[in-house]
Structure 1
């Protein structure tokens, strides 16, 4: 099924408008030091992704594809995407960056325990999906 050009242009226009609004909010509500910090954070994110994360993911993918049976590759890839994405987003709370002794309501729980629970849930989901795929492959077509 092909999508016409008009919906794509409309979707692109909405994306540009939302990005422009976000840029306006950023520039109009922050002082120079905060803007500098945001720029450093954004550049560091790109550099870390391209120099560290992407090569590590490629190497791990190659290793996993050689060691893991084909039936388990898709569930492991899905689990790695979920856990990897959530872990990257959780780095600030897992590292307790921004914790302040004068405000105990900031970072008020054990985020590491929550991440471990998520990791266990993802692991169980990967195992269940792998077993279901293996079982489906063993059954003769009806």
Structure 2
């Protein structure tokens, strides 16, 4: 049964390889090799180290959530930041300023994190004063 479940995945892999053959040049090879290497040797250890360091702080959870949201938003913005029409056309998507949109969204995320921390710290101070 396990092998039957693997067949569609293997078929998709073979079809993807078939579609990649006409595009095969140095840039595709570089993308297929350099992407995973940059991720595994640079990005993943740096993110793990930052996450580990943040867990040592007293209010780590909101910072970790803000960091995760920042990473996901930046990852989603890469195709549009990389080149002007990096994704298929979508009404209203390409006529906006991607840098401004990403910046405002990240500002909103970190404003929310900051407000959460301020409210949490103030509530903790009120609870200590009441006892």
The TM-score range, normalised by the shorter chain, is: 0.5 to 0.7
Give the corresponding residue for 2:89: none
> Residue 66 of structure 2 contacts residue 109 of structure 2 at CA under 8 Å; is this kept in 1?
yes
Give the corresponding residue for 1:124: 111
Could you tell me which runs of 5 or more consecutive residues in structure 2 were left unpaired when the two chains were aligned.
Answer: 87-91
Aligned residues: 120
Q: Give the structure-1-normalised TM-score.
A: 0.60
Pair 1:58–1:106, CA change in 2 (3 A): closer
- RMSD between superposed Cα atoms in Å: 3.7
In 1, the alpha carbon distance for the partners of 2:49 and 2:29 equals 29
Q: Which structure 2 residues correspond to residues 57-136 of structure 1 after superposition, within 5 A?
A: 57-61=47-51, 63-64=53-54, 68=57, 70-71=58-59, 73-96=60-83, 107-136=94-123
Q: Secondary structure at the match of 2:83?
A: coil
Q: Give the structure-2-normalised TM-score.
A: 0.64
In 2, the alpha carbon distance for the partners of 1:84 and 1:56 equals 12
In 2, the alpha carbon distance for the partners of 1:35 and 1:106 equals 30
